[in-house]
Amino acid sequence: MDSLTLTRPDDWHLHLRDGPHLGSVVGHSAAQMGRAIIMPNLKPPITTTRQAAAYRQRILDALPQGSEFQPLMTLYLTDTTPAEEIEQAVASGIVHAVKLYPAGATTNSDSGVTDLRHCEAALKAMARLGLPLLVHGEVTDSDIDIFDREAVFIERVMKPLLERHPGLKVVFEHITTAQAAEFVAQAPDNIAATITAHHLLFNRNHMLVGGIKPHYYCLPILKRERHRQALLAAATSGSGKFFLGTDSAPHAQGDKESSCGCAGVYSAPAAIEFYAAAFEEAAALERLEGFASHFGPDFYQLPRNTDRITLRRQEWTMPEAYPYAGDQRIIPLQAGQSLAWKLAGKGAQ
C-alpha cells in the first residue's frame, strides 16, 4: 500500500500550553487533526468553565488563518471542585471532560487531587450528566517503583473508583502497560483508553541504552518491550475502547536537556505519520482509521469528521528542531530521522 486515505483524525489528548508557546505549536496539530481534547494543566490550571472559555478563545486566536480545528476543552479536577462547576461545564457546551491528575504525578499536577474521595460531589455530577473523567493513571506513593505506578493505580484507585461510580465514563489516558490494556479491554463500555504514538513505537531501551535520551522521557515512562507489544495489540485490535491521543507535550529544549529534565514528548508535527508507522509494523494499516478517526468521537458522542486526509509512502526527514516561543527551540520526536509516511499537502517543515 502506497497511499492511505482516511476520515480526518482527532487527537483525544493534547497539550497546547499558552501564550507564545501555544502560538508555536497549535498549527502542527491543526494541520492534521479535526479536533483535540485540550489538557488543562497550565500554570495556573484551568479549573473553571470561565477559564476554559477564555483559554479556548486564545487557542482559536492562535490558529493559522482558515483553520477549522476545534479545541475541545477540559477542566482540571481539584479536591474542591464543586458539583455546580460540573453543571456549568456541561451547560457551556465547550467543556467535554474533566481531567484527574493525582497530585504530584506529572507536569503541573501540584494542584491535583490528593485523594479521590474528596471529589465525590463532582464525580456524582459527572456520572449523572455523562461528562467523562480523563485519568492520568499513576499512583504517586514514594514506595512504588516508577515502572509499576500505572499497574498499581488500577488496583488502588481505578477499581475502587468504578465500584463507587459504575456509570461514570472514564478514559484511562496514555496507557503504557499490558495490565492497563487488559483492564480496559475487559471493563464495561463506559471505560476507554487513549494510546500515544511514542508508546506504540518505543520501549525503555530507546530512552536508556547507549546514553540517556531525554526527548524520549515522558510520563507515564516508556516500559519494557512486552508492554509495547500489548499496546500495539490493543490499538490494532479493532476495539472501539482504544483511540488516538498523542499526549504531545511540548517543553523547551533546555528544559528537556537538563539535570532535572521535564517529562513530555513532542509528536504533534507528524502525529498521524507516527501512528501509521506503528500500525504498519503490526500489519494493521486498515485498522488505523477506526482508531484515529472513529472510536474517539463515538465514545465522546460527537459526530465523526466528514473530510478526509491522505497519507503517502514518501520518505522525509523530521526537522532537528522547531522554533518555540520566540528564541527557544523544541525538539520533536525522531528529530533528524527519516519517516516512511507523509501527510499529503504537507509543506516544508
Ligand X SMILES: NC(=O)N[C@@H](CC(=O)O)C(=O)O
Give me the active site residues, please: 247
Size of the site for ligand X (CB under 6 A): 11
Considering only the C-alpha atoms of the chain, give the largest distance between any 2 of them, rounded to a whole number of Å. Answer: 52
Site string for ligand X, 25-44 (x = CB under 6 A): ----------------x---
Residue 289 as a binder of ligand X (CB under 6 A): the answer is: no
Instruction: Check the CA dihedral 105-108-113-114 and report its sign.
Output: positive
289, 340, 270, 238: which is closest to 2 by C-alpha?
A: 340
Give the helix/strand (H/E) hosting 296: helix 295-300
> Which one of 6, 9, 11, 15 is in contact with ligand X (CB under 6 A)?
15
Of residues 9 through 38, those in contact with Zn ion by CB under 5 A are none
CB of 261 to Zn ion, least distance (A): 16
Question: Hey, how many other C-beta atoms are within 10 angstroms of the C-beta on 229?
Answer: 15
For ligand X, the closer of residues 7 and 194 by Cβ is: 194
Residue 150 as a binder of Zn ion (CB under 5 A): the answer is: no
Residue 199 as a binder of Zn ion (CB under 5 A): the answer is: no
Of residues 292 through 321, those in contact with Zn ion by CB under 5 A are none
For ligand X, the closer of residues 41 and 239 by Cβ is: 41
Among 136-144, 299-307, 318-326, 328-336, which window interacts with Zn ion (CB under 5 A)? Answer: 136-144
For Zn ion, the closer of residues 125 and 231 by Cβ is: 231
CB of 269 to ligand X, least distance (A): 16
Helix/strand/coil for 219: coil
Give the helix/strand (H/E) hosting 277: helix 271-281
6, 2, 69, 11: which is closest to 308 by C-alpha?
A: 6
Q: In angstroms, what CA-CA distances link 189 with 10, 192, 325?
A: 20, 7, 41
Residue 263 as a binder of ligand X (CB under 6 A): the answer is: yes
Residue 136 as a binder of ligand X (CB under 6 A): the answer is: yes
Residue 219 as a binder of ligand X (CB under 6 A): the answer is: yes
Of residues 80 through 109, those in contact with ligand X by CB under 6 A are 106-107
DSSP string, 36-95: EEEP---SS---SHHHHHHHHHHHHHHSPTT---EEEEEEE--TT--HHHHHHHHHHSSE
Return residues touching ligand X (CB under 6 A). Answer: 15, 41, 106-107, 136, 218-219, 247, 249, 263-264
Return residues touching Zn ion (CB under 5 A). Answer: 106, 136, 247
